[in-house]
């Protein structure tokens, strides 16, 4: 079970990478829009520098035809680094591109997955990750939990190496459901992840422990006791 963060915000990536056990960073053009007209390749090189080479970085192409997708993928790999996972929407053209990119041994994340067929075909095309859009599916009355459970079952039954990278969450309960249904990984906006720690009782518990210690030992810390 791995958490990735769905953001291109350098400050947030630094913060989450420092504090939380995250496994990587994902982005798409709508996420990049929030950062403005960034120095694209240098921005992502900086993200790679922050997260290091052991974590995964997923970047999306814009082209809609297989040839254009492959060209953009190579441009990203040449200008950021060879280990970037290329996010390709699971359209028919995208599926063709995924197959061809995998023949070159390039890491691929099939994205914009709303239906079972898209995900299953992306697995069959060799995608390393498939990204079902949990909240967007629920908005359309598509059963995201059932879809993810089916993907997990097919991966287990047929031995695909594809991992489910659940995405598009509006709250942490959806994230937990995705994991429960068998998603190995999930990419979550930092504010949703951090909100899970904003339950007032958590800080109150910490403050109560502190107050009890101080009542007992005053200003003496654990380190002072050695
Ligand atoms: O990673 C995909 C995700 O960014 C889509 O999320 O919130 O735009 O539905 P959202």
Take atom 9 of ligand 1 and give the residue whose Cα is closest. Answer: 168
Beta bridge partners of 166: 186
**Does the beta carbon of 60 sit less than 6 angstroms from any atom of ligand 1?**
no
**What stretch of H or E contains 112?**
strand 108-113
Q: How far is the CA of 87 from the centre of ligand 1 (A)?
A: 13
| CA atoms of 197 and 172, how far apart (whole Å) | 11
Domain residue spans of the chain: 2-198
pLDDT of residue 161: 97
Residue 4: count other Cβ atoms within 10 Å of its Cβ: 25
pLDDT of residue 152: 98
Residue bearing tokens 């299953």: 120
**What stretch of H or E contains 65?**
none
**Does the beta carbon of 6 sit less than 6 angstroms from any atom of ligand 1?**
yes
**Does the beta carbon of 185 sit less than 6 angstroms from any atom of ligand 1?**
no
Catalytic residue (one of 33, 87, 170, 226): 87
Q: Is 37 a catalytic residue?
A: no
**Does the beta carbon of 130 sit less than 6 angstroms from any atom of ligand 1?**
no
pLDDT of residue 63: 98
Say which CATH superfamily domain 2-198 falls into: Aldolase class I (3.20.20.70)
pLDDT of residue 98: 98
| CA atoms of 226 and 98, how far apart (whole Å) | 59
Alpha helices, DSSP H, located in the chain: 10-19, 29-33, 40-51, 66-79, 92-103, 116-125, 134-139, 144-158, 172-180, 190-195, 200-217
Show the tokens assigned to 57: 């970085």
Q: Is 136 helix (H, G, I), strand (E, B) or coil?
A: helix
Q: How far is the CA of 15 from the centre of ligand 1 (A)?
A: 20
User: pLDDT 10s per residue in the chain (226 long)?
Assistant: 999 999 999 999 999 999 999 999 999 999 999 999 999 999 999 999 999 999 999 999 999 999 999 999 999 999 999 999 999 999 999 999 999 999 999 999 999 999 999 999 999 999 999 999 999 999 999 999 999 999 999 999 999 999 999 999 999 999 999 999 999 999 999 999 999 999 999 999 999 999 999 999 999 999 999 9
């Amino acid at each position: 079970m791995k958490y990735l963060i769905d953001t291109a915000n350098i400050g947030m990536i630094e913060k989450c990478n420092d504090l939380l056990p995250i496994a990587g960073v994902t982005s798409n053009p709508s996420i990049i829009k929030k950062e403005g007209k960034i120095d694209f390749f240098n921005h992502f090189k900086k993200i790679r520098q922050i997260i290091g080479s052991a974590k995964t970085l997923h970047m999306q192409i814009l082209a809609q035809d297989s040839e254009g997708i492959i060209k953009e993928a190579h441009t990203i790999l040449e200008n950021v680094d060879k280990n970037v996972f290329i996010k390709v929407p699971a359209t028919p053209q995208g599926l063709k591109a995924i197959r061809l990119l995998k023949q070159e041994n390039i890491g691929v994340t099939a994205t914009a997955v709303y239906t079972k067929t898209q995900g299953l075909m992306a697995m069959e095309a060799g995608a390393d990750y498939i990204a079902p859009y949990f909240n967007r599916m629920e908005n359309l009355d598509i059963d995201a939990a059932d879809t993810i459970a089916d993907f997990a079952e097919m991966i287990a039954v047929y031995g695909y190496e594809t991992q489910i990278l659940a995405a598009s969450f509006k709250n942490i309960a959806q994230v937990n459901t995705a994991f429960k249904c068998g998603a190995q990984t999930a990419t979550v906006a930092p504010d949703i992840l951090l909100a899970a720690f904003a339950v007032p009782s958590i800080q109150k518990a910490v403050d109560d422990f502190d107050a009890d210690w101080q009542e007992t030992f005053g200003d003496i810390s654990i380190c002072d006791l050695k």
